[in-house]
Amino acid sequence: MINNQIMHIGVDDTDSTRKGCTTYVTALLVEKLEKLNVTFLDYPNLIRLNPNVPWKTRGNGALCLRIKCASGLEGKIKEAAISLVEEHSDLAFKGTDPGIVFFQNEKIPEEIKAFAKNTITGIVTLKEAARLIKKFGGEALGFKACRGIIGALAAVGENLEDDHTYELIAYRAPENCGLKRKVDEASIFEMDKLTRPYTFNNVDSEKGRVIITPRGPDPILFGIRGETPEVVKKAFGLVKPLEPVDRWLVFRTNQGTDAHLKRVPALNQVVPYSSVVAKGVVSRNPRIIPLRHVIFSVKDETGEVDCAAYEPTGALRRVARNLIVGDSVEVYGAVRKPSAGKLLTVNLEKINILALAPKIVLQNPVCKKCGKRLKSMGKNKGFRCEKCGTRFDDARKVQTVVERELKAGLYVTSTRSQRHLTKPLRRYGLEKHGAGAEGMIENWRSP
């Protein structure tokens, strides 16, 4: 049998806050397709979508398998995908609306690629997805409200031709799901040390905590993110699980690439539910609001927005607290819908300090005789030297430029509060551009 029929299979929104994981459904589908002797054209693609949509699922990740199969097998393949999604989705959960998209053209149309980008950076409609599927002869299957069709089509359309990373996900035995995850933590710190900077988001160095193990009821034991399939596999070999790993799989993904951020040329183009990069000048000094969050405002000729650094952003919050009016900054983050009469708020993921304004404080003058700083005698009553006793009746306060407790440069939210899509500092300089898949390694999954 010759595999000559191309098929892209997109899946989304099978999970809920209490159960399931779309990557797991995909892992099971890979095993089923393997038995049908298909050829995998790429690692399973794990596409994180706009983290800022109000109806998002837990991690807002959609998946796509790209395969070649013998003609005549399409029916069997579709059946396998549909029955797995049906079986493993949390269909009883309100807001879990799975979708599957089959697309059999070899080339992904530009319009579908553009749709995918919009799904990652902003808001799209099911109607638009349906129009594209019809126009280009795809097939879609939706459950309940069918919202998953949007993500499924976006996963088909995002073929990661630009910057991308890899994640090796190791899954637990079903009987262990819901129990505390058992992995030797010291081995994770050691793995991080031995594979950096080519793996990322393994540990939160601020808190000394491991972050490759999720906390929910899903079947993931841990996931290792990195620059190449080889390095995540090597890292996998260094981590010591203390419970059985049922299966593992390497995904190619847009995680850690900042794909969700859209640069806007002016602040009046910042819109709710998007994630932006925007330039401005600090227009209102930071204030600390309850729970130790820091809020400041930035403006340009076109508008003004608030920026919020929440407590878990760690270092970022400390940076934000030290900004002053006049500082020139570039802010990165998700835009929240404003409450009535308030400015739009950018929830900071990063801040790039472009230029610091001079910080000027008023100080008492120094004694002309002995050089000691004078003491004020009260408002408009002049100054007096405590050392030699000389009085200076008409001396005035002097302006002094003091050193800032900040340096220009890029600051990123703490590892523990980074979104799946946030590009961590460790990845700067390692971006891949226009490369596509690098060719597959032989053993990218088990079983």
Nearer to Zn ion, 381 or 391 (CB): 391
Q: Which of 114, 288, 388, 408 binds Zn ion (CB under 5 A)?
A: 388
Q: Least distance (Å) from Zn ion to the CB of residue 367?
A: 3
* Cα–Cα separations (whole angstroms), residue 60 to 9, 99, 221, 275: 17, 13, 19, 14
Q: Least distance (Å) from Zn ion to the CB of residue 391?
A: 10
Q: Least distance (Å) from Zn ion to the CB of residue 387?
A: 5
Amino acid at 36: L
Residue 386 touches Zn ion, criterion: CB under 5 A: no
The DSSP string of 401-417 is: EEPPS--SEEEE--GGG
Phi, psi of 113 (to 5 degrees): -60, -40
Nearer to Zn ion, 79 or 393 (CB): 393
Pick from 53, 44, 168, 24: nearest CA to 120: 53
The DSSP string of 312-327 is: GGTHHHHHHHT--TT-
The contact mask relative to Zn ion for 31-70 (x = CB under 5 A, - = no) is ----------------------------------------
| Residues near Zn ion (CB under 5 A), total | 6
Residue 385 touches Zn ion, criterion: CB under 5 A: yes
Q: Least distance (Å) from Zn ion to the CB of residue 377?
A: 14
Residue 334's H or E segment, with its range, is: strand 328-336
Interactions with Zn ion, residue window 204-223 (CB under 5 A): none
Nearer to Zn ion, 388 or 435 (CB): 388
Q: What is the separation of C-alpha 136 from the centre of its chain, rounded to a whole number of angstroms?
A: 31
* Cα–Cα separations (whole angstroms), residue 88 to 12, 26, 28: 12, 10, 10
Q: Least distance (Å) from Zn ion to the CB of residue 370?
A: 4
Residue 387 touches Zn ion, criterion: CB under 5 A: yes
Nearer to Zn ion, 263 or 369 (CB): 369
- Taking the alpha carbons at both ends of the chain, their separation in whole angstroms is 23
Q: Least distance (Å) from Zn ion to the CB of residue 393?
A: 15
What gap in Å lies between CA 112 and CA 114, rounded to an integer?
5
* Cα–Cα separations (whole angstroms), residue 424 to 107, 240, 259: 32, 25, 12
Stretch binding Zn ion (CB under 5 A), from 53-61, 78-86, 327-335, 363-371: 363-371
Stretch binding Zn ion (CB under 5 A), from 116-124, 249-257, 338-346, 367-375: 367-375
Q: Which of 287, 369, 375, 397 binds Zn ion (CB under 5 A)?
A: 369
Q: Least distance (Å) from Zn ion to the CB of residue 385?
A: 3
Interactions with Zn ion, residue window 81-140 (CB under 5 A): none
Cβ atoms of 200 and 168 closer than 8 Å:
no
Q: Three-state SS for 398? A: strand
Q: Least distance (Å) from Zn ion to the CB of residue 366?
A: 8
Cβ atoms of 178 and 217 closer than 8 Å:
yes
Q: Which residues bind Zn ion (CB under 5 A)?
A: 367, 369-370, 385, 387-388
